[in-house]
Structure 1
Amino acid sequence: MGPVENPVNNKEYRIPGEAKEMLKSLASKWEDIDDANSLQVIPLKGAMTNEVFQIKWPTKTQNMSRKVVVRIYGEGVEVFFDRDTEILTFEFMSKQGQGPRLLGRFSNGRIEEFIHARTLSASDLHDPDISALIAAKMKEFHGLEMPGPKDVSLWHRLRNWLKTAKSLCTPEEAKDFRLDSIEDEISLIEKELSGDQSIGFCHNDLQYGNIMIDEETRSITIIDYEYASYNPIAFDIANHFCEMTADYHTDTPHILDYSKYPGLEERQRFLHLYLSSSGGLPSDIELEQLLENVEKYKLASHLFWGLWGIISEHVNEIDFDYMEYARQRFEQYCLRKPALLGSSGTTPDVALTDVAGPGN
């Protein structure tokens, strides 16, 4: 989830000593800073995986300041991704000029360049001009040549998360969410989507808080690569469309509004811009096939974040109703599955449909 600035002074004690020394060392190299020790620490609200702080130093120029970002890795979230891989991805992206530059690493976190751009809001995802920029940036992102094997992670990750969810849940929770039936669901949609797929380097969590825009240059920066991996590009796009239903900065950040899921024309427009952003016009067949694949991968997105919600309830201290969020994602899976998979989507014993929302 994207951080929002919320100034609070005297929070320096939450920055590890090792990080403080690195910050002072960085600041001492900037000639426009009078005192490297006079740093202000501002927690950024809304991050769902790490603690994120903006660090500011006043400069000799009136009303100006130097800024960096400190990210302290969350405890327990390693069940979702490999931290070493995430750090390597961040360093690679930094060298490619894709995100903030890496300024330093300490044992449980890192210091990043402060990007002079604003984080998008929920409504920005529906702005046609901004959405067009996102489509082009996604295409560029998917084309990145990351070091290492280019294996699809989606199905392996879903099964791993299911195993983790089962190990953390109480028997009541496991029964409530019908966890025993989800293995069959994963196998079903994996089989249904096993045809020719375009694979790319995917962000896998492209919600508005992970997208920044420079208002002057109109350039888009994608940040936070914790969940990034090679996957079918249709999954990444489907996940982005699902995130259009969320607003994590309301009094009920866990409640999703599916009336905001993009309509057919909005989806077609996004996909046309995505396919044509690197030159050339996509054929009608190409566009139609991607549109169909994206809608089917929406089911994988619902399972992915449903399992994430169940696990997060047990490992994360952030004030967020993860269980209710998970219920909504599973409910959407059940509602959409018959239309998207048709007769091929029937299994002899699918009890997931009983997960019908609050109070179940």
Structure 2
Amino acid sequence: MALLRPLINQMSTKLPHLLGPGGFLQARREGASYIVENRPYVPSLIVDLNDETTVVNAAKVILSCAGGNKADIETKSVRNTATVKVSIMSGGLTNALFRVDIDDGKQHSVTSLLVRIFGAEGMIDRDKETANFARLCNAKGSVVHSQLDYLGRFGNGRVETLIPNMRAATICDLREKEDLVLEVTRQMARLHYGFDIPDYLLEKDAISSGVEEGENNCCQPQPVLWDVLASWNDELITKISQACSSDLRLVNIFCSALFGDTVQLNSIAAQDDDDKRESALTEMMSHIAKQLNRETRWIQDHVSEHHPDAPIAFCHNDVNAGNILVDGRLDSSDSSCYDRDSVATIDYEYGALNYTMYDMANFICEHCGGNDNGIPDYKLMPSLELQRKLVQEYMQERDSVMDNAATKHVGEYEEVTKLLSQMQTFQMVSHLYWGTWGILQGASELLDGEYEIENIKSRIGGDIDINSWDNLRYGKNRLDRYRKHKQSMLETGQKQMSYLYNSGRL
């Protein structure tokens, strides 16, 4: 508690309110605590994953500081005598999650919080992500669940509310409860067309001052998809180069995972001179980099050519079963009817401007699971009939949000067909995106010494640890699917893709 009181006193003084990602950046530059997006930000407060007391401290500091800024949070500071219970929460592939229950002991009222410790360092812009999440919570009810809220941020994470009676959805839920899938689809439409895009996501120079947002520097929405893939490719080459420099066997393993084939190592292995070996390895990495970037450019050009008018909006980009909460009280109901109060889409860390049908396509791919063992089951891919129904539901909710519901939709059949075509293309993009992500995460783990080099081939193939998550295995499986999807499309043409989906051949 020695740290708690000074921080509370510091935050209780009147501070300027900063806005957007630049607000977080300014606070860190000045080394001070600020109110950013109307929530406290304490950059000096760090949580140690191995020290439960730091988790409790972060929750108490943020909850106490948030009292003066959020009308729907308990305004009294947390008493030193409060009883606190900490539980590790499962389901986070990128972040570490803790549930903190605080009982003030006075009225026996328990405040339940989610303490999120950021992971995937360098892969996610946490300033932009947190600013986005704050804006989403400001629009709660119309965009996100009415009880979902962001309370404040500390050095390596943030504190959020926990929605009572909720549990994470499962792949079985998605497969067996069509009304749940329809509600998630409606929520995506409300996000895409009901959320006002912040200026900082439209500015050419997104991060500047945290005091004001740009007024004259905005442009049309652009998808982040291609820039993200390009940056991941660059980072992946760096990490693969570092890993392979210590063991040349990894060149073949990474090439097999990324491209489905291997390379000849004779030119490298035969070199007796270390400088020549290094030069040969550098040349090989350059070849891999060109292949990665060529693939990204190909799919980008394909989207531009075949879907030049694909809508762009703020998207979740990672709607999967683990990021969907459902009201557990409906589990025992014979006829569950899911709506915006009983379903919550959470975890917006990958949220950004993107193609709206990418969001939908990614959700379709996530029906196949794989977030438990890294092996998606593509037999679970929703039928074309269900995909068409989801697109129709999406369009109906979109028109409702845009106050077009009363107008008969002209050319509805043509638009459904058009959006379905976009969805099928973006399913291929989703496989490339998350396949690259998985290989990059796995390369990072390898460099961090999280598993032995000798076990990598077996782990990727699923020969060992088949019941546990593995980033490399997941990445390889998604990229294998990407190549199969691309090959089928090139062989049959875009117009024949719907037949492949409907017949189960893809």
TM-score (norm 1): 0.82
AA matched with 2:52: E
AA matched with 1:140: R
1:146 aligns with 2:173: no
Contact 2:438/2:472, CA 8 A, preserved across alignment? yes
1:40-68 CA distances to partner (integer Å, 9 max, x unpaired)?
Answer: 00110120111111111346699963211
Question: What 5-or-longer segments of structure 1 have no aligned partner?
Answer: 1-9, 346-360
1:164 aligns with 2:235: yes
The count of aligned residue pairs is 331
Instruction: Give the distance between the partners of 1:128 and 1:205, measured in 2 at CA.
Output: 19
Report the secondary structure of 2:115's partner residue.
strand
Instruction: Give the distance between the partners of 1:304 and 1:275, measured in 2 at CA.
Output: 25
Cα 1:248/1:61, change in 2 over 3 Å: farther
Q: What corresponds to 2:265 in structure 1? A: none
AA matched with 1:66: T
1:326 aligns with 2:439: no
Cα 1:201/1:37, change in 2 over 3 Å: same
Question: What 5-or-longer segments of structure 2 have no aligned partner?
Answer: 1-49, 68-72, 203-220, 245-250, 260-287, 331-337, 451-467, 495-506
Q: What corresponds to 1:70 in structure 2? A: 115
Q: Which stretch shifts more, 280-289 or 126-135?
A: 280-289
1:58-111 CA distances to partner (integer Å, 9 max, x unpaired)?
Answer: 46699963211111112xx13322111001111111111125212222121111
Residue of structure 2 aligned with 1:13, choices 53, 56, 59 = 53
Higher RCO structure, 1 or 2 (CA under 8 Å, sep 6+): 1
Q: Which stretch shifts more, 194-203 or 167-176?
A: 167-176
Q: What corresponds to 1:113 in structure 2? A: 161
1:170-194 CA distances to partner (integer Å, 9 max, x unpaired)?
Answer: 3344433244423222111111111
Report the secondary structure of 2:88's partner residue.
strand
Residue of structure 2 aligned with 1:40, choices 85, 90, 95 = 85
Q: Which stretch shifts more, 231-240 or 118-127?
A: 118-127
Contact 1:67/1:114, CA 8 A, preserved across alignment? yes
Q: What corresponds to 1:348 in structure 2? A: none
Cα 1:284/1:36, change in 2 over 3 Å: farther
Residue of structure 2 aligned with 1:198, choices 284, 287, 311 = 311
1:245-274 CA distances to partner (integer Å, 9 max, x unpaired)?
Answer: 00534xxx2111000011111111111111
Q: What corresponds to 1:218 in structure 2? A: 339
Deviation at 1:239, TM superposition (A): 0.6
1:125-156 CA distances to partner (integer Å, 9 max, x unpaired)?
Answer: 22111011111111001112221312211111
Q: Which stretch shifts more, 110-119 or 285-294?
A: 110-119
Contact 1:152/1:232, CA 8 A, preserved across alignment? yes
Q: What corresponds to 1:7 in structure 2? A: none
Q: What corresponds to 1:352 in structure 2? A: none
Residue of structure 2 aligned with 1:89, choices 132, 137, 141 = 132
Q: Which stretch shifts more, 305-314 or 22-31?
A: 22-31
1:271 aligns with 2:271: no
AA matched with 1:265: E
Q: What corresponds to 1:242 in structure 2? A: 365
Instruction: Give the distance between the partners of 1:260 and 1:343, measured in 2 at CA.
Output: 23
Deviation at 1:160, TM superposition (A): 1.1
The root-mean-square deviation of aligned C-alpha atoms, in Å, is 2.9
Report the secondary structure of 2:124's partner residue.
coil
Report the secondary structure of 2:374's partner residue.
coil
AA matched with 1:313: G
Q: What corresponds to 2:31 in structure 1? A: none
1:124 aligns with 2:173: yes
Instruction: Give the distance between the partners of 1:16 and 1:57, measured in 2 at CA.
Output: 9
1:177-229 CA distances to partner (integer Å, 9 max, x unpaired)?
Answer: 24442322211111111121111111110111112234577323221111111
Structure (1 or 2) with the larger CA radius of gyration: 2
Deviation at 1:14, TM superposition (A): 5.3
Contact 1:122/1:247, CA 8 A, preserved across alignment? no
Identity of aligned residues (%): 28
Contact 1:247/1:256, CA 8 A, preserved across alignment? yes
Q: What corresponds to 1:307 in structure 2? A: 436
Q: Which stretch shifts more, 59-68 or 34-43?
A: 59-68
Contact 1:19/1:106, CA 8 A, preserved across alignment? no
AA matched with 2:169: L
